[in-house]
Structure 1
């Protein structure tokens, strides 16, 4: 059961293959489909030491049920919009009484 209010359903994609040139390519092997998720895209203004010009960075965060099989470098397909994201990080808070949602930091690829 999820604590966050689901805004979409997602499919978790995993796996790689080698092409004819020996390069690694992602495969779109679904590990799980129809997973309820609270997915939000946000923006942040950032500037670095090398370049003081502020720029806008877009990122996304999803909340999924606690036992969802998802890990870094997986890909997430938003079943509602068709957008694909790469999983940058997966985390969750420790709670001794209930299972809490997992936070998934995402970077949009399409």
Structure 2
């Protein structure tokens, strides 16, 4: 089941002071970005955050699950989606620990 836009908008609206947040449709689901850095996925109307040590320390005992079949485990965020302050802090500390995105190579014409 693909995620619906209403849920995606809800999640992105919950995140404050964590950079410019946007979602991009990817294979029927959504990647979530902060200032161009992907930090999570929304799959089947569930929020998955990339695992980091800082995120694990902040959450305590995270629920981990793969966002889709064959994927590595991510932190599954369900019960704290409406806690704006908690969710925003998790995103801030997660993004801080993630590497910068690799610069995209310009396509050359043949």
Q: The TM-score by the shorter chain falls in which range?
A: under 0.3
More strand by share: 1
More helix by share: 2
Q: Which is greater in Rg?
A: 1
